[in-house]
Amino acid sequence: MTADFKENLAAMKEILAPDISYDIVYRVIQMGGRDACLFFVDGFCKDELMQKILQYFIGLKPEDIPADAHGMSKAFLPTVEADLGKTWEEIIVALLSGQTILIVDGFDKCLLIDSRTYPARSVSEPEKEKALRGSRDGFVETIVFNTALVRRRIRSPKLRMEMMRAGESSKTDIAVCYMDDRVDRKLLCQVKTRIQNIHIDALTMNQESLAECLYQGKWFNPFPKFKYTERPDTAAAHILEGNIIIFVDNSPSAMILPVSIFDMTEEADDYYFPPITGTYLRFSRTIIGIITYLLTPTFLLLTMYPEWLPEWLSFIAIADDVNVPVILQFLILELSLDGLKLAAVNTPNMLSTPLSVTAGIVLGEFAVKSGWFNSEVMLYMAFVAIANYTQSNYELGYALKFMRIITLILTGIAGVWGYAAGVLLFVISIASNRTITGRSYINPFGPGGIGTLWKRFIRVRHEAAGK
């Protein structure tokens, strides 16, 4: 940028093409006898503030204009946030982020005026992470709102929120939040370095795009490497524990790292209820998750080896004739349930009730009477389908589903040896999984971690947790 107004204006028009892009607005004005121009993005600026700024600038006299942009920003900008821009890249990014650009003849720097307002939905409770007790607010798609919700809960000068960017075209804002006196410095340096080294055109899928750039490990391990939350209280709690929270603009989720398999099974309700209730909820969630994985493969195994079934458990065996192989019944139902989920997501609200009724009829009594499915198979798959929703983490739920299907197929092919191989593969997948930091997924299992292991199973009192 130079001090020549016409040259600067021509450069801005060449880069932004405001005559083609209708939302890029510029206004040439006279300010104290000098030519000046305001650039802003329509829809990102507060109209009332822009009118006041225009009226104020137009009313300035020649003797009021300072010698440089720095003096102008100190004496004549009636706004809270203002900065100076020198390079075109800095100026263009600021403009497209919603700031107003003021170019004045004779100034070799432009003024960056923060008059932003974003189209955003109101703060409300997340649909997925609802809690019986606790706050009813949740993150939204605007990053400054999300950081404010965390700052409101942690009023400490040690709370750091570093702003970074990624994406050649998108220039997506990324906020890295941590407690300066509690964070693992090595981990923090590693995370920031990886974000800085991201070379991608755009983070179109927000958190998922960032996660794929941060983690370059084995993609075929289905267990999640990150934990996401839309609850400010959960994010604040993890920050106070020394973890790092990453916000990506345009995403209502916060990325938590590092994590382990035990973090995936925790929910906010564990801490909003007394310790004994929180412990029960945590145990229930874990046990149901294990049953969700083992139920259908174990039933298939017992169907193949009915002599292993004790007399007192004979009621769980299939009583009617089996027209379709049991393994095929399970696989068809697994696919059908996913089809229902996809249909529910893409069905308008006004048609959701007819869809539910139709699905209940097709996958209910009619399916059993037609001979396609046995009632016992339907019962166990119904339990699995409902139990999947006990996990608040979508990725963990699908990981259990994938491992369940693999174990089903191996059991159907090789019997007891296939069942053992599937369970062994499940254990190895968890034990060999590594997070972005390289830390074990089953931490604190292992040397030096047994002393804190019990805290991952038992919900301790807050005063005991701080000791």
Which of 207, 232, 259 corresponds to the end of one domain? 259
Describe the strand order of the beta sheet including 34-41 as a list of residue ranges: 24-31, 34-41, 100-104, 110-113, 82-85
With the C-alpha atoms ordered 187, 188, 189, 190, is the resulting torsion angle positive or negative? Answer: positive
Tell me how crowded residue 381 is: count the other CB atoms within 10 A of its CB: 22
Task: Please check whether residues 289 and 420 belong to one and the same domain.
Answer: yes
What is the pLDDT, as a whole number, of residue 466?
Answer: 46
59 contact partners, CB below 8 Å, separation of at least 6: none
Tell me whether residue 138 is in a domain.
Answer: no
CA distances to 70, 222, 229 from 443, rounded to whole Å, are 53, 18, 20
Q: Which residue is it, tokens 């035990």?
A: 262
In sequence order, what DSSP letters do the residues of 51-90 get, joined into one string? HHHHHHHHT--GGG--SSHHHHHHHS--SS-EEEE-SHHH
258: preceding bond cis by omega (within 30 degrees): yes
Tokens of 70: 């720095």
d(CA 431, CA 440): 7
Task: Please check whether residues 91 and 192 belong to one and the same domain.
Answer: no
Instruction: Name the pairing type of β-strands 172-179 and 100-104.
Output: unpaired
Tell me whether residue 344 is in a domain.
Answer: yes
In the chain, the largest separation of any two C-alpha atoms, in whole Å, equals 101
Tell me whether residue 55 is in a domain.
Answer: yes
d(CA 193, CA 198): 9
Q: How many domains are contained in the chain?
A: 3
CA distances to 194, 245, 261, 281, 428 from 442, rounded to whole Å, are 24, 20, 6, 20, 11
Task: Please check whether residues 278 and 240 belong to one and the same domain.
Answer: no
Instruction: Tell me the sheet residues that pair with 113.
Output: 82, 100
Instruction: Tell me the sheet residues that pair with 159.
Output: 179
Task: Please check whether residues 343 and 226 belong to one and the same domain.
Answer: no
Report mean pLDDT in 10-residue bins for the chain, 467 residues.
Answer: 92 93 92 90 84 84 86 76 89 92 92 84 86 88 93 95 91 94 92 91 83 76 89 94 94 91 86 88 91 94 87 78 87 89 81 72 72 84 89 88 95 94 94 80 65 71 54
d(CA 439, CA 95): 41
Tokens of 190: 């590693």
Tokens of 400: 């259990």
Task: Please check whether residues 299 and 410 belong to one and the same domain.
Answer: yes
Of 442, 404, 409, give the one whose Cα is nearest residue 426. Answer: 404
Tell me whether residue 467 is in a domain.
Answer: no
Task: Please check whether residues 245 and 310 belong to one and the same domain.
Answer: no
Task: Please check whether residues 299 and 370 belong to one and the same domain.
Answer: yes
Tokens of 37: 């121009």
Structural domain containing residue 77:
5-113
pLDDT 10s digits, 49-103: 888 888 888 888 888 888 888 888 887 776 667 889 999 999 999 999 989 999 9
Tell me whether residue 75 is in a domain.
Answer: yes
pLDDT 10s digits, 119-147: 778 888 888 888 888 888 999 999 999 99
Tell me whether residue 232 is in a domain.
Answer: yes
Task: Please check whether residues 290 and 401 belong to one and the same domain.
Answer: yes
Task: Please check whether residues 419 and 308 belong to one and the same domain.
Answer: yes
Global pTM value: 0.86
Tokens of 189: 């340096």
What is the pLDDT, as a whole number, of residue 449?
Answer: 55
Tell me whether residue 441 is in a domain.
Answer: no
What is the pLDDT, as a whole number, of residue 32?
Answer: 85
d(CA 328, CA 325): 5
d(CA 337, CA 95): 47
Task: Please check whether residues 82 and 223 belong to one and the same domain.
Answer: no
**DSSP secondary structure code for residue 320 in this structure:** S
What is the pLDDT, as a whole number, of residue 465?
Answer: 46
Tell me whether residue 126 is in a domain.
Answer: no
444: preceding bond cis by omega (within 30 degrees): yes
Task: Please check whether residues 289 and 408 belong to one and the same domain.
Answer: yes
Task: Please check whether residues 204 and 318 belong to one and the same domain.
Answer: no
**Residue 340 main-chain phi, psi, to 5 deg:** -65, -40
d(CA 86, CA 100): 14
Of 393, 386, 418, give the one whose Cα is nearest residue 262. Answer: 393
Which of 202, 225, 259 corresponds to the end of one domain? 259
What is the pLDDT, as a whole number, of residue 9?
Answer: 94
